[in-house]
A and B are shown apart, each in its own frame.
Chain A
Amino acid sequence: MADLDERADGRPVAPVREAGTEDPFGEYGTYRRVRDGLRAYRMIAAMWIRSTMAYRASFAMTTFGNFAATSFDFVAILLMFSQVDELGGFSLPEIALLYGTSAVAFGLADLMIGSMDRLGRRVRDGTLDTLLVRPVPVLAQVAADKFALRRLGRVTQGLFVLGYALTTLDIAWTPAKVLMIPLMVGSGGLIFAAVFVGGAAFQFVAQDASEVQNAFTYGGATLLQYPPALFAKDLLRGVTFVLPLAFVNWVPGLYVLGRPYPLDLPSWLAFAPPLVGVACCALAGVAWRAGLRSYRSTGS
Chain B
Amino acid sequence: MGTGRLYAAVAAGGFRRYATYRVATAAGVFTNTVFGFILAYTYMALWHEKPHLGGYDQAQALTYVWVGQAMFAVMVLGSAGFEEELIERIRTGDIAVDLYRPVDLQLWWLAADLGRALFQLLGRGVVPMMCGALFFDLALPSGPLPWLACLVAVALGAVVSFAIRYIVALWAFWLLDGAGAMQITWLTGVFFSGMLLPLNVFPGALGELARALPWSALLQAPADVLLGEADPWGTYAFQLAWAAVLLAVGRLIQSAATRKVVVQGG
Mark A residues whose CB is within 8 Å of B: 58, 61-62, 65, 68-69, 72-73, 75-76, 79-80, 82-88, 206-212, 214-216, 219, 222-223, 226, 230-232, 235
Cβ–Cβ < 8 Å partners of B35 in chain A: 215, 219, 222
Interface residues of B (CB under 8 A from A): 21, 23-24, 26-28, 30-31, 34-35, 37-38, 41-42, 44-46, 49-50, 53, 177, 179-180, 183-184, 186-187, 190-191, 196-197, 201-203
Measured between alpha carbons, how far is A232 from B136 in the docked complex, in Å?
12
- Nearest residue (CB) in A for B184 is A65
The listed residue with most A CB atoms (<10 A of its CB), out of B42, B179, B180, is B42
The answer for the CA separation of A76 and B198 in the assembled complex, in Å, is 10
Nearest B residue to A207 via CB reads: B23
Is B30 in contact with A212, judged by CB distance below 8 angstroms? yes
For B38, B41, B177, B203, which residue has the most chain A Cβ atoms within 10 angstroms? B38
In angstroms, Cα B53 to Cα A240, docked, is 32
Given contacts A83-B201, A209-B23, contact A76 B196 (CB under 8 A): yes
C-alpha spacing A240/B179, complex, angstroms: 38
Contacts of A88 in B (CB 8 A): 45
**Distance of A76 Cα from B183 Cα, bound (Å):** 19
Interface pairs A-B: 9 shortest CB-CB: A76-B196, A211-B27, A209-B27, A215-B34, A215-B31, A84-B49, A208-B24, A88-B45, A212-B27
CB distance from B108 to the nearest CB of A (A): 26
Report whether A231 and B53 are in contact in the complex, using a CB–CB cutoff of 8 Å. Answer: no
A65-B180, A87-B45, A214-B31 known; A223-B38 Cβ under 8 A:
yes
Q: Which residues of B contact A211 (CB under 8 A)?
A: 24, 27-28, 30-31
Asked if A80 and B197 make an inter-chain contact with CB atoms under 8 angstroms apart, the answer reads: yes
A235 engages B37 (CB within 8 Å): yes
Which chain B residues border A84 with CB–CB below 8 Å?
A: 46, 49-50, 53
Please state if A72 and B44 are interface contacts (CB–CB under 8 Å).
no
Q: Are B180 and A58 in contact (CB under 8 A)?
A: yes
A219 with B180: CB separation less than 8 A? no
**Residue from the set B23, B27, B41, B53 with the largest chain A CB neighbour count within 10 Å:** B27
Looking at chain A's contact residues, the main secondary structure is helix
A209 with B201, Cβ < 8 A, contacts A87-B42, A219-B34, A219-B35 known: no
Dominant secondary structure of chain B at its interface with chain A: helix
| CB < 8 Å neighbour of B203 from A83, A222, A226, A230 | A83
Give B162 Cβ to nearest chain A Cβ, in Å. Answer: 22
Cβ A230 vs Cβ B31 within 8 A: no
26 A-B Cβ contacts within 8 A?
A58-B177, A58-B180, A61-B180, A62-B179, A65-B183, A72-B190, A80-B201, A82-B203, A84-B50, A87-B42, A87-B46, A206-B27, A207-B23, A208-B24, A209-B24, A210-B24, A211-B24, A212-B31, A214-B31, A215-B30, A215-B34, A219-B34, A226-B41, A226-B42, A230-B44, A232-B41
What separation, in Å, do the CA atoms of A222 and B41 have in the docked complex?
12
Distance between Cα atoms of A230 and B39 in the complex (Å)? 10
Nearest chain B residue, comparing its CB with the CB of A206: B23
A216 to chain B, nearest CB (A): 8
